[in-house]
C-alpha cells in the first residue's frame, strides 16, 4: 500500500462498480466516504457489506447536481477523516438509445449535468484537500462512448449526449492533471462494456436480440464483456503503483475499440 494514502471519496457507490471499488479500498485499510442519490433499495445491503469495517466509512446521500451540496460533502469528509487522498469520480447517467429512444431537452441537460458537470465541481471542491495530502490520486471514470459514439454494435448502447460528455471528460482529465501536479496524479479509466455498465446486469441487456449481443462480443478482441473485478484491479493499480502516471487515459474495453479485427498471415508478396 502506498504510504500516506488514507482517505477516499467514491461517488456513485451504492452498487456496481462504485461499491466494489469502495469495498476494495476499505479492505486495504483506507477510510472511504461513499455517495448515492437514487437506487435506495440497495442501501441496506451497502450498510451490511460495510458493517465489518466499523466506523472507517461514511455513506451519504448527496445530490451532486447541487453545487452547494458538493461543498458540504467535501467539508463533511474533511471533518470526519481530516483530509482526502483519493477521489474516484464515478458518476454518470447514460441512457441507452434502445431503452430511452431519442433524448428530449430535459434528458440531454441531465446527461451533461450528471456525467460531466458534477465531476468538474467535485474535483474543484476537493482539490485543495487532495493537494494538501501531497500524494493525491484522482481517477475519472468515463466510457469508450467518447471515442465510438452511436455506431456499429454500440449504437444500441451509446446515445449522442452520453458520447459527447464522455469525450469532454478526457479533456478535463488532461487539464486537471496540469492543475493538480505535482501533488496529485489525475488519470482516467475509460470503460467498455462491463457487466454492470452496459452489460448483462443492466436493464437494457434483456431487450437486445441474441444477434445484437453476439455482434458486441464478436467486435471485442477478448470475446467477452468486462467484469467488475477488471475495473477494481486497475483502480488499485493507479492508486498504489502508478506513481509516474498522470494525465493518461487507460481503456478497459477488452479490445472493443480495435473492432475485433485479427492480424492476417503475412502474404508472400509479388516480387
E strand or H helix at 216: helix 210-218
- Position 86 in a domain: yes
pTM for the model stands at 0.94
Q: What is the CATH number of the domain that holds 239?
A: 3.40.50.720
The answer for residues whose C-beta is within 8 angstroms of residue 234's C-beta and 6 or more apart is 189, 250, 252
Q: How much is the pLDDT for 3?
A: 47
Q: In the beta sheet, which residues pair with residue 31? A: 7
- Position 67 in a domain: yes
- Position 104 in a domain: yes
As for how many domains the chain has, the answer is: 1
Helix axes 118-133, 67-81, angle to 10 degrees: 30
CA 109 to chain centre: 20
All three cell numbers of 159, joined, read: 446515445
- Full residue range of the structural domain in which residue 192 is found: 7-250
- Position 157 in a domain: yes
- Position 28 in a domain: yes
Q: What is the total residue count of the chain?
A: 271
- Position 264 in a domain: no
Indicate the Cα dihedral angle 89, 90, 92, 96, nearest 10°.
140
Residue-wise pLDDT for 20-74, tens only, equals: 999 999 999 999 999 999 999 999 999 999 999 887 899 999 999 999 999 999 9
In which band, very low, low, confident or very high, does the pLDDT at 1 lie, cut at 50, 70 and 90? very low
**Residue 44's CB: how many other CB atoms inside 10 A?**
9
- Position 208 in a domain: yes
Q: Residue 158 and residue 153: Cα distance in Å, rounded?
A: 10
Q: How much is the pLDDT for 55?
A: 79
- Position 102 in a domain: yes
- Comparing CA positions, the residue from 165, 231, 235, 236 lying closest to residue 196 is 231
Amino acid at each position: 500500500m502506498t504510504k500516506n494514502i488514507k482517505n477516499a471519496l467514491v461517488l456513485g457507490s451504492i452498487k456496481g462498480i462504485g461499491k466494489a471499488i469502495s469495498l476494495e479500498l476499505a479492505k486495504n485499510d483506507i477510510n472511504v466516504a461513499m455517495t448515492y442519490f437514487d437506487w435506495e433499495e440497495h442501501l441496506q445491503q451497502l450498510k451490511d457489506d460495510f458493517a465489518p469495517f466499523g466506523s472507517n466509512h461514511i455513506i451519504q446521500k448527496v445530490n451532486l447536481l447541487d453545487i452547494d451540496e458538493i461543498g458540504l460533502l467535501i467539508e463533511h469528509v474533511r471533518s470526519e477523516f481530516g483530509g482526502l487522498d483519493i477521489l474516484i469520480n464515478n458518476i454518470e447517467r447514460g441512457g441507452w438509445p434502445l431503452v430511452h429512444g431519442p433524448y428530449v431537452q430535459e434528458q440531454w441537460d441531465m446527461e451533461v449535468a450528471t456525467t460531466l458537470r458534477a465531476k468538474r465541481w467535485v474535483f474543484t471542491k476537493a482539490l485543495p484537500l487532495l493537494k494538501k495530502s501531497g500524494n493525491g490520486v484522482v481517477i475519472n471514470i468515463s466510457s469508450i462512448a467518447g471515442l465510438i459514439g452511436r455506431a456499429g454494435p454500440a449504437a444500441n448502447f451509446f446515445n449522442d449526449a452520453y458520447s459527447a460528455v464522455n469525450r469532454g471528460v478526457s479533456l478535463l482529465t488532461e487539464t486537471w492533471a496540469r492543475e493538480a501536479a505535482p501533488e496529485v496524479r489525475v488519470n482516467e479509466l475509460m470503460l467498455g462494456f462491463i457487466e454492470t455498465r452496459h452489460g448483462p446486469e443492466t436493464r437494457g441487456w434483456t431487450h437486445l436480440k441474441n444477434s445484437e449481443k453476439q455482434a458486441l462480443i464478436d467486435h471485442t478482441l477478448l470475446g467477452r464483456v468486462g467484469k467488475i473485478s477488471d475495473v477494481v484491479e486497475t483502480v488499485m493499480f493507479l492508486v498504489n503503483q502508478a506513481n509516474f502516471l498522470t494525465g493518461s487515459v487507460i481503456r478497459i474495453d477488452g479490445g472493443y475499440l480495435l473492432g475485433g479485427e485479427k492480424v492476417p498471415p503475412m502474404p508472400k508478396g509479388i516480387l
